[in-house]
Amino acid sequence: MATAYVENMTYLGEPAIRAGNERMEIILVPGWGSNLISIFHKEKNASLLRTPKSREEFWENPVLYGTPILFPPNRIGDGRFTFNGRTYHFDMNEKDKRNHLHGFLYREKWERVRAEVKNDRVVLETEIDSTVHPEIVRQFPHPFTVRMTYLLEGERIQQNATILNRDKEAFPWGLGYHTTFLFPEDACTFSLTAEKRWILNERLLPTGELEEIEDREQWQKGIRLKERALDDAFLSSASPRGRNEAVIANERLGLRITYWADENFKHWVVYNADGKQGFVCPEPYTWVTNAPHLDLPPSLTGLRVLAPGEQITIKTGISVSVDSRD
């Protein structure tokens, strides 16, 4: 008997889609940057993501709730860069460090394309057309489309992002997610398949140098983050056949959350404020912070170019498992 379902709802006054099955329930808010704002595990009666209590709280800092889409991800020094003779100017929204931060998609209204159950699998799709959003056109004057596809089956959610260049010119691109998981520091460990750490300056921009991770083995096995403030950028050990993932093990709930990304995501940023706020953001990026300004090979920085008419699909996902020892 089919157990998957999709229904319309209102989330804090905003039209939303609720979908689920016998194991999980998710809520997607297209009008809030296509934010997958909630993931709920039914057996454990547990919310996995940090969610706002009100619309006002959400808009105070929308990148710290749910799964914000960052395009481009993280910081661009001085809010500008030049590529192929064109200079791009982005809003300087981190004024104290003179940076642009996190792109322009997470604040915009996306359109719902479909929401259905197919073969007992939930399929949700949203889309944004850059040309109908003046704030996007002003900063990134290329016609392009991004389509998000969310697939829920059992305890696994897959997110596919498809970027289509509708321009007659090529453009540089980078995409990431600021996924904000609940993380009670006393009850959780965190691991990451990181190869090296980027050295950052006082503006949190990479210097171009990489360093060894002093406790790399522990990072890969699982570490405690209590009172360990992080806003660190890592080079992933991503490979087509290797693991590229962050794992949260919640001992109190007996849950293991694996956040995986395909080989297009060469970098992760890990942010947890001061290590006392009960959340952690493992952020998979296709390009590293400030990539257009780094005098390094694009194969390392992740700076990529989409040709006219070209499209690319990149994949991430969240899998949840119950600890059999619980």
Catalytic site includes residue 283 = yes
The residue to which tokens 């992002």 are assigned? 161
Task: Answer whether 6's CB lies under 8 Å from 115's CB.
Answer: yes
Alpha carbon distance 221, 247 (integer Å)? 9
76 Cα distance to chain centroid: 17
The 3-state secondary structure of the chain reads CCCCEEEEEEECCEEEEEEECCCEEEEEEHHHCCEEEEEEECCCCEECECCCCCHHHHHHCHHHCCCCEEECCCEEECCEEEECCEEEECCCCEHHHCEEECECCCCCCCEEEEEEEECCEEEEEEEEEHHHCHHHHHHCCCCEEEEEEEEEECCEEEEEEEEEECCCCCEEECCEECCCEECCCCCEEEEECEEEEEEECCCCCEEEEEECCCCHHHHHHCECCCCCCCEEEEEECCCCCCCCEEEEEECCCCEEEEEEECCCCCEEEEECCCCCCCEEEEEEECCCCCHHHCCCCHHHHCCEEECCCCEEEEEEEEEEEECCCC
Alpha carbon distance 86, 189 (integer Å)? 45
Catalytic site includes residue 178 = yes
Question: Of these residues, 100, 178, 267, 293, which one is catalytic?
Answer: 178
Question: Of these residues, 25, 41, 283, 293, which one is catalytic?
Answer: 283
Active centre residues (catalytic) = 178, 283
